């Protein structure tokens, strides 16, 4: 068990979570662009085709858990998306989940879809026997930080960055 509090999904009546399929890739790419913007601001990779190719490649791989939330009345149109990858600690051999993505569309479905996707990811992690889950979130993304905490996640690492004066004045990011 991952030490999480299970949440009652009944508040999400009218929505369901299912595995992502190829037909979802355009919506998934849009969610990934939203995540990139929230995480990296002006440095975000906002090329939807790039994100679509990346997600398409992962769809076929074992160890990738890719889910979408949909309205029961529109099961072909994702209102949310989550992605977890299986990883192995190179020192201990311990298997864990790398929580890569969770995003929801704006609107009434945002809360229920996010909670349902998080609960489904935790269930999949438990079923896979992962020792723990690890995910990153931008410090300014209060919605995701709140969702993580609501499901028993705690902050364990903090990434510190320093930008050079040149990058600050010229807008250079160092990315090529």
| pLDDT tens per residue across span 40-76 | 888 889 999 999 999 999 998 999 999 999 999 999 9
The Cβ of residue 78 has, within 10 Å, a number of other Cβ atoms equal to: 27
CA neighbours within 13 Å on the CB side: how many for 81? Answer: 26
The Cβ of residue 77 has, within 10 Å, a number of other Cβ atoms equal to: 13
Residue 18 clears pLDDT 50, i.e. is over it: yes
Q: What is the pLDDT of residues 60-69, one digit of tens each?
A: 899 999 999 9
Lookup result for tokens 């029961």 = 72
* Cα Rg of the chain (Å, integer): 17
- Count, residues in the chain: 176
The domain defined by 14-151 folds into Aminopeptidase (3.40.630)
Domain ranges of the chain: 14-151
- Name the DSSP letter for residue 65: E
Its pTM stands at 0.81
Are the CB atoms for 55 and 42 separated by under 8 Å?
A: no
Query: Among candidates 138, 126, 135, which has minimal Cα distance to 156?
Result: 135
């Amino acid at each position: 068990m991952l030490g999480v509090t299970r949440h009652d999904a009944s508040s999400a009546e009218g929505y369901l979570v299912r595995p992502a399929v190829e037909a979802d890739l355009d919506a998934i790419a849009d969610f990934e662009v939203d995540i990139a913007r929230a995480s990296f601001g002006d440095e975000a990779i906002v090329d939807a085709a790039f994100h679509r190719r990346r997600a398409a490649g992962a769809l076929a791989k074992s160890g990738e858990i890719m889910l979408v939330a949909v309205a029961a009345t529109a099961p072909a149109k994702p209102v949310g998306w989550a992605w977890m990858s299986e990883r192995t600690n190179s020192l201990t051999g311990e298997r864990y989940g790398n929580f890569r993505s969770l995003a929801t569309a704006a609107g009434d479905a945002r809360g229920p879809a996010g909670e349902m996707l998080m609960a489904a990811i935790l269930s999949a992690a438990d079923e896979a026997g992962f020792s723990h889950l690890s995910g990153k979130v931008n410090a300014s993304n209060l919605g995701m930080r709140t969702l993580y905490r609501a499901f028993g996640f705690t902050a364990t690492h903090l990434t510190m960055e320093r930008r050079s004066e040149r990058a600050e004045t010229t807008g250079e990011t160092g990315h090529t």
